[in-house]
Every structure is written in C-alpha cells, then in structure tokens.
Amino acid sequence: MSKRIGKRPKHKRSLPLPGSYLIATEGIQTEVLYFRDLAEELEQKYAGLANRIEVTVPSLTVKGTGVSNLTLIERVAEVIQLSPTLFEHVWIVFDKDDIPLDKFDNAIKSAEQLGWHAAWSNDSFELWYLLHFEFLNAAIDREEYKMKLTQHMQTNGIQGKYEKNSARILQLFTPEKRQQAIRFAKKLAGYYQANIPYHQRNPGTAVYQLVAELTALGQRADTLRKNLKK
C-alpha cells in the first residue's frame, strides 16, 4: 500500500471541509451515474439555503477509478493526497468480483482502519438496484440481475434492456423506492451474524448505509425549507 497515506501537502486546508464527501467507486459507469444523480439531487435541495440561514451545505465528489479492492484503497489515498480539499467523509464503493476472497474482506477492513467507509456489494452493485423493486435473499449471477432489472424497467414503461452504462433506470428510483431499498438491505444484513466473513454474505450490500446518510441530508434540507415558510 502507498506509504503516502495520511501525508498531505502543506498547501492543503488544516481541517476537513464540513459536509464534504469523497465517493470513490470501483466502476466508472453504473456507480458513478447513480451517485452523481444523488449529488445533483442534494445540490438542488440545498440551492439558495445558505443565503437565508446558516447551514452546512454538503458537497459530493464522485470519482470512478476503474480499479478494485486493495488497489482502490491505494488509488483513493492518492486522490486524497492530490486534492485541495480535505474530505470529512470518505466512502469507497466496490463489488466482490472474481478475486481471491481474502482481498475482498481485507479491502473492507483496510478502509475501516483508515477511518473510511466501505459501501461494498456481494456479488454485484446491481443488487442495490434490484432491492428498489424486490427483496432478494438468494445468490444469483450477474446475468440474472440484468434480466430482473430489465423486467422491472419494462414493467414500469421503460423499453429495452438494462445496461450498466444507462441512466434510464434512475428515474424509477423515487424517494419511496429508495426507502424500500434501504429497508430491504437492512433486512438482508440482519441475516448474517457479525462473525460471518464479508465474502460469504451473498447476497449482501452496505451501499444502503451511504445512501441512508445522503437521504437524511436531503430530508434535513426539506425540513429547513418548510421551517422557513412558517
């Protein structure tokens, strides 16, 4: 792992920027599209609020890296070192993939040791998408995920097949569907005892933890706007 982790150039800020998030994803398509969509939603919710009241406006930096697991840890450390911003929250987003099992588990543990958070998925990020529509507690392969998501898209009036680089499915992720996905992911997490290795938690995903946190920030903005109207 890079020896530069934790070392920062002198020109950087001495304190993290409040409300700042670095969301570094393994993929450069699906995950990036999803979290940039959430970032735009938060930006709209907080637009103009800081001009009316004192409020910490969250800022999300979403970066697709194209590398996975422990290599992702190293790449994120480099991004942090080169960034002019000290991030208050660092999340890495990755799948299990077809790699040695210990690398998946070690990447999660390494992130936690660095004070970061791991929004992992086993086996695929598409599990998080699928939980918006149905509860799944049995392992399936990635082609089955695509087939199921295609069916849900077509049921909801979107023609064609699910593709990883398509943003069309994002329009189906309403606030209600998002809350359902969070509930289903929490329920799924409850199936596994704490001593079960992460690579054995299939299906399973911790993406809901990050999404729940961002959703709470959006709800906070909604509440502030309502209070201003009173």
- pLDDT by residue (tens digit) across 94-114? 999 777 778 899 999 999 999
CB 18 within 8 A of CB 55: no
What is the pLDDT, as a whole number, of residue 14? 65
Mean pLDDT of the chain: 91
Banded pLDDT at 68 (limits 50, 70, 90): confident
CA distance 205 to 188: 8
What is the pLDDT, as a whole number, of residue 4? 41
pLDDT digits (tens, 9 = 90+) for 35-59: 999 999 999 999 999 898 999 999 9
pLDDT digits (tens, 9 = 90+) for 3-29: 344 444 444 446 888 999 999 999 999
Other C-beta atoms within 10 Å of 71: how many?
A: 16
Share of the chain above pLDDT 70, in %: 93
Banded pLDDT at 154 (limits 50, 70, 90): very high
Bridge partners, residue 89, by sequence: 21
User: Running DSSP on this structure, what letter comes out for residue 56?
Assistant: P
What is the pLDDT, as a whole number, of residue 9? 46
User: Running DSSP on this structure, what letter comes out for residue 168?
Assistant: G
What is the pLDDT, as a whole number, of residue 166? 86
Question: DSSP E strands: which ranges in the chain?
Answer: 17-25, 59-64, 87-95, 117-122, 204-205
CA distance 121 to 97: 9
**What is the pTM assigned to this prediction?**
0.91
Share of the chain above pLDDT 90, in %: 82
| Mean pLDDT, residues 180-209 | 97
Strands 117-122 and 87-95: parallel
Burial label for 137, CB within 10 Å (0-12, 13-18, 19+), is exposed
What is the pLDDT, as a whole number, of residue 203? 97
Provide the residue type at 48 as one letter.
G
What is the pLDDT, as a whole number, of residue 36? 97
Poorest-confidence range of 1-5, 140-144, 164-168, 175-179? 1-5
What is the pLDDT, as a whole number, of residue 223? 95
CB 105 within 8 A of CB 43: no
Q: Is the pLDDT of residue 212 over 80?
A: yes
